[in-house]
Amino acid sequence: METFITIIAGVLFTIGTYLILSKGLVRIILGISLFTHGVHLLLMAVNGLKKGGAPLLGEATDVYTDPLPQALILTSIVISFALTAFSLVLGYRTYVELGTDDLEQLKGDPNE
């Protein structure tokens, strides 16, 4: 199962790279969002998927799930949501102020 999740994370990284290399701000923001989802899946796959164990240690427990990677993923989800929301607001303000989201048009002419 970890191999399947790693392959899906690689696909998300590939699609995210393709979107980040485009010229539109919305596509770049979506690419960054896909990158963060790939990181979440990679963190989960690196920890390993354990079944049947609670994330707490008891006195006579042999099988347990480590809660630290779950906490890291949850924190990463919150941070990536805030980053995506902030980036979307900046992209919207750029579109409203300049009338375009194309990066080639935003560069402007250096001779002006």
Question: What are the boundaries of each domain within the chain?
Answer: 2-106
| pLDDT tens readout for residues 65-78 | 777 888 889 999 99
pLDDT band at 10 (very low <50, low <70, confident <90, very high): very high
Q: For the chain, what is the mean pLDDT?
A: 85
pLDDT, mean of residues 24-39 = 93
pLDDT, mean of residues 25-52 = 87
Return the CATH architecture of domain 2-106. Answer: Orthogonal Bundle (1.10)
Q: Which two tokens stand for residue 98?
A: 């300049």
Confidence check: pLDDT of 111 > 90: no
CA dihedral 42, 44, 46, 50 (to 10 degrees): -150
pLDDT band at 39 (very low <50, low <70, confident <90, very high): very high
